[in-house]
Structure 1
Amino acid sequence: MTLLLAAACQPAHLGDWRNLIAVIWDFLSLSLFSLGGGNTLLAEYHYMAVDKYCWLSSQQFAEIYAIAEGAPGPSSMIVGLLGMGAAFEEGPLWALFSGVMAELAILLPSTLLMVIAALSWNRFKTSPFRLAFERAMGPITLGVLFAVGLKILRISDHDTPAYAVSAVVCFLMLRTKISPLWFMAVAAGLGAFGLVNR
């Protein structure tokens, strides 16, 4: 069944303005749900890029995610890379335009909302609503981030050594104060020597 769906999936071409507007609208509407940062929407980004619009395979999505996380800047940078990857067949300038539009669509609404909230948040300093809201958002955000971590494991780890490396890194991250940069360096070395394949 999965093979039939994959065969039937045709990429949406962003050279068609209607498709580009639909994609921008999708990112605009997702922007207000990015509680805890851009990574909280990763499952939805994967659904859009791989299943809904068929721009990328799961492996390509995992590679774009790795580039976005490895580069300096916000985690929502993956959206610009997805926009570029989606429109790359239309040419490099159109891909750049698509990437910029996707990034603006994901950042603009949530940024405006946060500016408004920051300007008015102090007015509710003593409100029980503010305290309850702040206490509730912590567990919700952690839960969403945990679900995102599981999603990344499912789309990027495809062999036993890769799952083992992920489990060891997760354990060490929770139990030690070792910098994540060391884990990234070790994983890169394992991949470079072909000891871990995706």
Structure 2
Amino acid sequence: MRDNPLWALIVVFVPFSLVSVGGGPSIFAGIQHQSVEVYHWVTAREFVELFAIARAAPGPGSMLVTLLGWKVAGWTGAIVATLALFVPSSVLCYGVSRVWNHYRGRNWHTALENGLAPIGAGLILAGVFAIFRIAGAGILSWAVAGSSAIVLAWRPKLNPLLILLAGAIVFVVIQARVPGP
């Protein structure tokens, strides 16, 4: 498998596709582990840089996988990695949605929906911790992220762009007060 990078991309990303409860961010920790620590496709620093590019570019944040595929095997790798992440979950969602609404309102249906919510939140939180850890985020980063999460939990209808703007202002003000090297 290590001899065939395209097969390795499929083996890594298809399972992530099927367990991405909560969306792309829920699998970032696992993707980081596989691409940096297991397969050594990229360094921790390169992973953070690709993550930043994927988040800044239009489209889903899980396009990080496309960039990783490109690093591993060029354009073919980018296509294979993208398809490996998006096709299996799309097929599964289509199949499940065909029967899901039929059982709406039943006790097991409600229990399953309620049980998956904290799992998705926990997986997303694990992804945040993984990215912060390998990025070497300082106390200021943790404080801004934590404060943002608290404000959004307290005021869920608040526009997240206002939180982003407030975080940027805090960073600029604090960085302006810190003397340079």
Q: TM-score range by the shorter chain?
A: 0.7 to 0.9
- The counterpart of 2:6, out of the listed 17, 20, 23, is 20
Aligned partner letter, 1:69: R
Q: CA deviation at 1:114?
A: 0.3
- Distance in 2 (CA, whole Å) between partners of 1:84 and 1:189 is 35
Classify 1:71/1:184 alpha carbon distance in 2 versus 1 (closer, same or farther; 3 Å): farther
- Distance in 2 (CA, whole Å) between partners of 1:96 and 1:189 is 39
- Alignment partner of 1:41 is 2:27: yes
Classify 1:71/1:157 alpha carbon distance in 2 versus 1 (closer, same or farther; 3 Å): same
- Distance in 1 (CA, whole Å) between partners of 2:104 and 2:149 is 37
Aligned pairs for 1:4-153 (under 5 A) are 16=3, 18-87=4-73, 95-153=74-132
Aligned partner letter, 1:23: L
- Length-normalised TM-score, structure 1: 0.74
Classify 1:188/1:113 alpha carbon distance in 2 versus 1 (closer, same or farther; 3 Å): farther
Q: CA deviation at 1:161?
A: 4.1
Aligned partner letter, 1:58: A
How many residues align? The count is 173
Q: CA deviation at 1:106?
A: 0.6
- Distance in 1 (CA, whole Å) between partners of 2:152 and 2:138 is 21
Q: CA deviation at 1:173?
A: 3.9
Q: CA deviation at 1:175?
A: 4.5
Q: CA deviation at 1:113?
A: 0.5
Classify 1:128/1:178 alpha carbon distance in 2 versus 1 (closer, same or farther; 3 Å): closer
Where structure 1 has 5 or more consecutive residues not aligned to the other structure, the ranges are: 1-11, 88-94
Given that 1:37 and 1:75 are in contact with CA atoms closer than 8 Å, whether structure 2 keeps it comes out as no
Classify 1:86/1:180 alpha carbon distance in 2 versus 1 (closer, same or farther; 3 Å): farther
Aligned partner letter, 1:30: F
Q: CA deviation at 1:166?
A: 3.7
- Distance in 1 (CA, whole Å) between partners of 2:113 and 2:137 is 38
Given that 2:26 and 2:121 are in contact with CA atoms closer than 8 Å, whether structure 1 keeps it comes out as no
% identical equivalent positions: 32
- Distance in 1 (CA, whole Å) between partners of 2:103 and 2:145 is 42
Q: CA deviation at 1:20?
A: 1.8
Classify 1:161/1:146 alpha carbon distance in 2 versus 1 (closer, same or farther; 3 Å): closer
Aligned-residue CA RMSD (Å): 2.7
The structure, 1 or 2, with the larger RCO (C-alpha pairs under 8 Å, 6+ apart) is 2
Given that 1:157 and 1:163 are in contact with CA atoms closer than 8 Å, whether structure 2 keeps it comes out as no
Classify 1:65/1:124 alpha carbon distance in 2 versus 1 (closer, same or farther; 3 Å): same
